[in-house]
Structure 1
Amino acid sequence: MKKILIVPFLLLLSILLAACSQDKEKESGVEKEVAAESSTDSLSDGEPLKVDKGVLNVEVTIPGTFFEGQDIDKVIAEAKNDGIKEVIKNEDGSITYKMSKAEHKKMMKELEEGIIKSVEEIKTSEDFSSIKDVSYNKTFSEFTLSVNKEEFENSLDTIASFGLAITGMYYQLFNGVDPEKYKVTVIFKNESNGEVINTIVYPDDLNEKK
């Protein structure tokens, strides 16, 4: 079985939360700075954030589907230990995170850097030899993979789309996309002529298969 290069969701979450918990002695000064910013922060494509934001805080709710099969109490405890000020388990299985704007911005930056690193690994990995290039939009809602068609059709390289989709959906949710509307589209194109070989829309296609 091929090695999946994308970090699993909960491990990625743990890494990001740990990063946000560092340099706590600097947080007070940072929060004073962000308090002066407008409360109408926007997504990178210009759409207004839909997360609930106070003067210093950001509130984000992640759907319960991201935690299926996990010990929710353990997830909450780890998040609190890693510096998130408040974590709430909702009746529908979702989890609401309340954090400072400084923590939120740092989390988004770390997540963006992680996705870009994973994209570069996919492009150069021998595990996905048919994939020659990967491009993406600013909000990580669409990835285009240029592949050698013959190699691709005789491989299992579509598995690369799953890791990209998970991290892309996670990025969108923490960046304020409505949990009812977030999607990631992964397009596989023939590198020689641009022909679309396959298109997978997450989570729609996964739900249909279930």
Structure 2
Amino acid sequence: MKNIFSALLLSLLFMIVMGCQASKNEDKATNAAPAAAESNTGSKEESQKINVDKGLLDVEVTLPASFFNGQDLDQVIEKAKTDGVKEAKKNADGSVTYKMSKAKHAEMMKNFEDAIVKMVDDLKSGKDFKSIKAVDVTKKYSEFTVTVDKNAFENSFDAIGLLGVGMSSMFYQSFNGVASDKMKTTIQLKDQATGTVFKTIVYPDDLNKAKN
């Protein structure tokens, strides 16, 4: 996973999820439950994947070492604990495993969903992205059809608004258990005048191309 992809994802992780409201005294009984089995350190290839282990009472999410380039892991872990994650630990391969109650995981997923919905609403409001006229979304938040005034869109910087939606979509998928090699977000741009799709953006592929 390329560094540009990793850095943006990590930033979104803490802006959208870890920075949200505290755990609201969630499931005190859950905090005393037996810990889920720790993730085994696998091959180098496996260490680059996001692993989501949903146990009976807890959920473990392991983010690969590539997500934390240039980050102080001790600070990352302390921030996660402060924001309601039950446990966070460094692994030998540089990855970090977060363990949280199912209630906390559900809260995180809801935060991702709310963030995507708000971003979509902002896109089509006409206030900041005047060329964007409509946005249609699949229920799994992995495919978006964005209807635009093509000429106005191509002569503006409105495309920047699509980045946040795409990155949030990938985080939503990853924390929902989609393997990183299966994770795709597709944004189709449709011309309002003709109804024709004139461009398709696929994350993370297009981010990796931009990096190269």
Report the equivalent of 2:17.
Answer: 13
SS at match of 1:126: coil
What do the CA deviations read for 1:140-191 (whole angstroms, capped 9, x no partner)?
Answer: 1111111001101111211112111110011011111012221111111112
1:185 equivalent to 2:186? Answer yes
What secondary structure sits across from 1:51 in the alignment?
strand
2:126/2:133 contact within 8 Å kept: no
**8 A Cα contact 1:130 1:147, kept in partner:** yes
Aligned mates of 2:202, 2:83 — CA distance in 1 = 32
Summarize the Cα distance change of 1:180–1:194 in structure 2 as closer, same or farther, 3 Å threshold: same
Deviation at 1:72, TM superposition (A): 2.8
Instruction: Tell whether 2:202 aligns with 1:198.
Output: no
- SS in structure 2 at match of 1:127: coil
Q: For residue 77 of structure 1, what is the aligned residue in structure 2?
A: 78
Q: What's the TM-score, normalizing by structure 1?
A: 0.77
State the match for 1:141 in structure 2: 142
The aligned counterpart of 1:173 is 174
Q: Which runs of 5+ in 1 are unaligned?
A: 1-7, 33-49
Structure 2: how far apart are the matches of 1:64 and 1:13?
19
Provide the residue aligned with 1:96 in structure 2: 97
Separation (CA, whole Å) in 1 of partners of 2:208 and 2:106: 31
**What code does the residue aligned with 2:96 have?**
I
Structure 1 runs of 4+ off > 4 angstroms?
none
RMSD of aligned alpha carbons = 2.1
Contact 1:62/1:179, CA 8 A, preserved across alignment: no
SS in 2 for 1:157: coil
SS at match of 1:179: coil
SS in 2 for 1:128: coil
Structure 1 residue 123: Cα displacement: 0.9
Unpaired runs of at least 5, structure 2: 1-10, 32-50
Determine the C-alpha separation between the residues in 1 that align with 2:140 and 2:63: 17
1:99 is paired with a residue of what secondary structure?
strand
| Corresponding residue for residue 153 of structure 2 | 152
Matched pairs, number: 181
Partner of 1:42: none
TM-score with structure 2 setting the length: 0.77
**1:63 & 1:191 partners in 2: Cα distance?**
41
CA distance in 2, matches of 1:63, 1:157: 32
Contact 1:183 1:203 in 2 (8 A): yes
